[in-house]
Amino acid sequence: MLNNILSSGALPSLEMSIRFASQRNELIGHNIANISTPNFQQKDVSPESFQNWLSKAVNERRQRTGGMHGELHAERDRQFVQRKDGGIDLNPLASTGGVLAHDRNNRDIEQLMQDLSENLSAYQVATDLMRSQMGTLRVAISERT
C-alpha cells in the first residue's frame, strides 16, 4: 500500500529530479576542481535533455496506467540510464563551451558558476516540492484535516 502511495503523482518524477540534480552537482564540482588541470576536458549533461527524458517516462506511465499512478520506467538514453533501484546513471558528454587554453583545457569558470547556481535552484525547488508532498501524505495518514 505504501509503495503505491509513493509511486503516485509527482513523487517519482521529483525523486528522479533530485537524483539528477545531485549527480550533476558532483559533475560540475569535478569540472571546477579540475579548472587548472592540463588536458582536462569538461563534461556535462543537459538539463533540457533530462527534462525531455523524464517527460517521456511520465507520458509512458500515463499511457500504461491511464493516469498518475505507478512507477516511472525511463528508456535508456544517450546521457541517462535508469537503474533497477530507481537511481540514474549519467553519461556526461564533453562540453562544447569554454575557451580552449594553451594547456588544452576548455575552462569557462563563469559558465560553471552559472551551471552550479541553476542546478542548485532546480535541486531546491524539487526538494521543497517533495517536502510539501510528503507533508500532505503525513497529514492524510494521521487522518487530520
Tens digit of each residue's pLDDT (9 = 90 or more) over 66-81: 776 777 888 888 999 9
Is the pLDDT assigned to residue 35 strictly greater than 70? yes
Q: What is the mean pLDDT of residues 21-48?
A: 92
What is the C-alpha separation between 24 and 44, in angstroms, rounded? 8
Could you please report the per-residue DSSP string of 66-87? Answer: SSSBS---PPP-SSEEE-TTS-
Is the pLDDT assigned to residue 58 strictly greater than 50? yes
Q: What is the mean pLDDT of residues 15-41?
A: 92
> Residue 131 is placed in which grid cell?
517536502
What local confidence, expressed as pLDDT, does residue 122 receive? 96
- Map out the domains of the chain as residue ranges: 2-141
State how beta strands 99-100 and 106-107 pair.
antiparallel
Is the pLDDT assigned to residue 143 strictly greater than 70? yes
> Alpha helix (H) ranges present in the chain?
2-6, 11-33, 47-65, 109-141
Greater model confidence, 104 or 11: 11
